[in-house]
Amino acid sequence: MCQGDGSFDTLSERVTQMNTKEIIALSDKYVMHTYGRIGLAPVQGQGALLRDADGREYLDFVGGLAVDSLGHCHPAVVQAIQAQAETLMHVSNLYYIQPQAELAELLVQNSCCDRVFFCNSGAEANEGAIKLARKYAKQTHGPEKYEIITAEKSFHGRTLATITATGQPKYQQGFGPLPQGFKYVPFNSLEALQNAIGPHTCAVMLEPVQGEGGVIAADQAYLAGVRELCNQHGLLLIFDEVQCGLGRTGKFLAYQHYGVDPDIITLAKALGGGFPIGAMLAKQFAADAFVPGDHASTFGGNPLASAAGLAAMRTLLDDQVVENCARVGAYLEEKLRGLQNKYHFIREVRGLGLLLGMELTVEGGEYVKRCQQQGLLINCAAGNVLRLIPPLIITEQDVDRAITILDAALGDRD
């Protein structure tokens, strides 16, 4: 549709090019079939634009699942990776690593936490948080404290412990026996949480804004009440900000909208500007429960990943990217409300910043496909929620283009 509108630099000659059909055939033959993929093979990205293997261009409102917050191939991240790759890529955590220490300092200075553990993904960050919460609780309150309460519709990752923490049975089915010590409560119900706290409870783990579950933000009174209950019962409060953190909601961390400080924060997705890196942050008193030998990750915070993360986070904070997200996010939300007024099958528009969802009364997959055909990539969460998680650097003009396509896609409904 919007083929070759000239907004792209020429494709790098180093990229040897198969066409879409060839890439799909090769992938289907050799890559394990764990993903329900869309028949699209991007080969080049720049800002909020993607180009596929057949030369078609797309406005990308998925951003690698809330990873490419600075857009594709941000020059600051590219430059940092190039320079670090030529100098030192990996040495292991047997040694001290300068960019890792600098990235830890930046995260501490911009959060309520004091210490950082680096890893490679969101699930791994949450594994670390679960281990730290248990170690802290057993040490502080006794061996019977191990249970972590999480929310229904939450998403915390795909490892055994994190699918168990995830309050959605569909992610757990077929993988038992699951680790013990998790309990689920409806999100945004303080009463349910209060009733769920028992003699074994050691922590509460929540996403301040649920992402995979369908873009559901915590209520202000709920989060404040959760903090209060945690204080009363000596529980650690863990915020999984893997998706909603790092500028996505219009503040550096989503909890900063609420003025409710957690004890542990987990991060990943946008942290490396597209390079894989995760982090688990904790307040000093909790972090002290880990001593040398308790937890580790071979790749965690290696020089290359840390240099990418440092460049990405400095850019996010210094280039007014978070402010841009708040402004353009409000603009996009307003435009989505305009669509809601027009189409009766849009039940609700919700979210914060550029983590926005449009709940439909019908399945969303068909609209994702129609948007793709017209040159816009969006995603569907929880079956019927169109999720918009574009790079945070998009402009109002990008939003106008996206809304025009979305409007046409929704209007096509039979």
Query: In the numeric block, which tokens belong to residue 15?
Result: 């990229």
**Minimum distance of ligand PLP from residue 240's CB (angstroms):** 5
398 is catalytic: no
Helices 303-318 and 98-109 pack at an angle, to 10 degrees, of 30
- Candidates 153, 251, 269, 335; catalytic one: 269
Does residue number 353 form part of the binding site for ligand PLP (CB under 6 A)? no
Does residue number 157 form part of the binding site for ligand PLP (CB under 6 A)? yes
Strand residue runs (E) in 120-177: 147-151
The residue behind tokens 């409102």 is 61
Q: Which of 114, 119, 108 is nearest to 296 (CA)?
A: 119
Instruction: Pick the stretch among 102-110, 235-243, 295-303, 305-313 that binds ligand PLP (CB under 6 A).
Output: 235-243
Positions 281 through 320 that interact with ligand PLP (CB under 6 A): none
**Minimum distance of ligand PLP from residue 252's CB (angstroms):** 16
Does residue number 127 form part of the binding site for ligand PLP (CB under 6 A)? no
155 is catalytic: yes
269 is catalytic: yes
Q: Which residue, 151 or 287, is less far from ligand PLP as judged by CB?
A: 151
Q: Which of 42, 167, 211, 272 binds ligand PLP (CB under 6 A)?
A: 211
Q: Which of 52, 127, 207, 398 binds ligand PLP (CB under 6 A)?
A: 207
**Minimum distance of ligand PLP from residue 207's CB (angstroms):** 5
> Which ranges of 238-320 does DSSP label H, i.e. alpha helix?
284-287, 303-318
- CB under 8 A, 24+ apart: contacts of 3-10: 3/55, 3/56, 3/57, 4/55, 4/57, 5/57, 7/46, 7/49, 7/57, 8/44, 8/46, 8/49, 8/51, 8/57, 9/46
**Minimum distance of ligand PLP from residue 125's CB (angstroms):** 8
- Candidates 240, 252, 263, 283; catalytic one: 240
Does residue number 242 form part of the binding site for ligand PLP (CB under 6 A)? yes
**Minimum distance of ligand PLP from residue 154's CB (angstroms):** 7
> Which ranges of 295-344 does DSSP label H, i.e. alpha helix?
303-318, 321-342
Judge whether 146 and 181 are in contact, CB under 8 Å. Answer: yes
- Determine the 3-state secondary structure of 387 from DSSP: strand
Can you give the binding site for ligand PLP, defined by CB under 6 A? 121-123, 126, 155-157, 207, 211-212, 240, 242-243, 268-269
Which residues are catalytically annotated? 155, 240, 269
